[in-house]
């Protein structure tokens, strides 16, 4: 449910941003051209890839987290990192090819793919102590 609410919010914001492009910018405006390059038609491939990766990877993340919590309740670090590492791999394998395939040579494409996943896993590792801190501060509503 949360994944779909997040997706709907992303979609609404994309539409709001797109509507702003219909307005004539003020002569002093510096953001309109940049917004047009991000939201414009040429970047729709990246937006679509992002949305697809978001839905699939986050749905998987929630399922994997629940599965690991059920089968290994004594290992919260495993469910936090296991579900996140796997879902971020799925996210990367969906987003990067759909967004960038054919735009770069194979070496650059692979560099983007590997480095994207690398930074996502580093981020997941960094958030692990905060995951434990949050558990210590407040008992979870759902065990």
Q: What is the pLDDT of residues 103-143, one digit of tens each?
A: 899 999 999 999 999 999 999 999 888 888 887 887 666 65
Q: Comparing C-alpha atoms, which of 42, 85, 36 is closest to residue 61?
A: 85
What's the pTM value of the predicted model, to 2 decimals?
0.75
Neighbours of 1 (CB within 10 A): 6
Q: Of residues 18 and 119, which shows the higher confidence score?
A: 119
Q: Of residues 53 and 137, which shows the higher confidence score?
A: 53
Mean pLDDT in residue range 72-86: 89
Alpha helix locations (H) across 21-105? 32-39, 44-71, 76-100
In what helix (H) or strand (E) does residue 1 lie, and over which residues does it extend?
Answer: none
pLDDT at site 58: 92
């Amino acid at each position: 449910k949360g994944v779909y609410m997040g997706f709907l919010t992303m979609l609404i914001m994309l539409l709001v941003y797109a509507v702003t492009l219909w307005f004539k910018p003020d002569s002093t405006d510096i953001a309109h051209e940049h917004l047009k390059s991000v939201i414009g038609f040429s970047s729709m491939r990246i937006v679509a890839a992002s949305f697809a990766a978001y839905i699939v990877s986050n749905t998987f993340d929630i399922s994997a987290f629940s599965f690991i919590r059920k089968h290994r309740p004594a290992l919260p670090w495993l469910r936090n990192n296991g579900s996140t590492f796997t879902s971020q791999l799925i996210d990367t394998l969906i987003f990067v090819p759909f967004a960038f395939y054919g735009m770069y040579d194979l070496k650059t494409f692979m560099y983007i793919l590997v480095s994207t996943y690398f930074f996502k896993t580093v981020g997941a590792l960094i958030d692990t102590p905060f995951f434990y801190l949050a558990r210590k501060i407040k008992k979870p509503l759902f065990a």
